[in-house]
Amino acid sequence: IAPARLFEEVLKMFHAGYAVETFEQLRHFGLFRYLFPMTDALLDEEEEGFPHMFAIRALENTDRRINAGKPVTPAFLFAVLLWEPLRARARALEAEGVPEVQALQMAAGEIVARQSRHISIPKRFSLPMREIWQLQARLRFTRGKRPFRTLEHPRFRAAYDFLCLRAQAGEEELAPLCEWWTRFQDVDEAERQRMASGSGGGRKKSRKRRPRRRRRGGRTPAES
């Protein structure tokens, strides 16, 4: 099957309201590796349920939205399914001395190119997918003018949801950052200025993972 055709078939499978079940069945029968070989290899090496739990959390959210009649986007789905290969490659590039932001951009290009051998992602989805990834770094900055610029980004909501799903899936060090952005969206302009002045938090690092444990409850992200 042509990679372009497989893109449409993947959407049919994962955007039918049974994404979690589809994911588990594809994994069980050894078919997922033919669609997402890079991701499948990392799932086999998962540590304490991660990145498996991240995919499950995101797909649960997708199912909830579809079953509630809410919109979902292929960019978000593929951002989730290719996130761990992206991070692994970015870390390798950083270890070679490539600056963090440049490493992320380079890794994104490589991962999309490699994935296209199996599933061809149209640019109208691959570009916003890459923006969701790149905003993960920008969301760590919560002082000065940066949070205001980030808030105005057209992919902010999707990137924010992505960040909070990561926190729910086991990257617990991201929970305070998710809470900060949740509040930043809800308060008035004067309070936003106060938060961005320094008392609301600063740059959050998330490179070192703490031990994972499954978490229940929490705010349900909404894809954008």
pLDDT the model gives residue 137: 93
The greatest distance separating any two alpha carbons of the chain, rounded to the nearest whole angstrom, comes to 55
Q: Which is it for the CA torsion 86, 133, 40, 210, positive or negative?
A: positive
Mean pLDDT, the chain, as a whole number?
Answer: 88
> pLDDT exceeding 70 applies to what percent of the chain?
86
CA gap 19, 213 in Å, rounded? 22
CA gap 141, 100 in Å, rounded? 14
Q: How many CA atoms lie within 13 A of 144 on its CB side?
A: 6
What pLDDT band is residue 221 in, cutting at 50, 70 and 90? low
pLDDT the model gives residue 52: 74
pLDDT the model gives residue 46: 63
State the first-to-last Cα distance of the chain, in angstroms, to the nearest integer.
30
Per-residue b/e over 82-99, b at no fewer than 16 CB within 10 Å?
Answer: bbbbbbbbbeebbeeebe
Pure H helices in 82-142: 83-95, 100-115, 123-138
pLDDT at 217 over 60: no
> What does the domain layout of the chain look like in residue ranges?
3-199
What pLDDT band is residue 51 in, cutting at 50, 70 and 90? low
Question: In this structure, are residues 175 and 204 in contact, taking their beta carbons and an 8 Å threshold?
Answer: no
pLDDT at 4 over 70: yes
pLDDT the model gives residue 205: 43
Reduced DSSP (H G I as helix, E B as strand, rest coil) percent helix, strand, coil of the chain, to 5: 65, 0, 35
- The pTM (predicted TM-score) of the whole model is 0.84
3-199, CATH topology level: cca-adding enzyme, domain 2 (1.10.3090)
Q: Each residue of 144-200: pLDDT tens digit?
A: 999 999 999 999 999 999 999 999 988 999 999 999 999 999 999 999 999 999 764
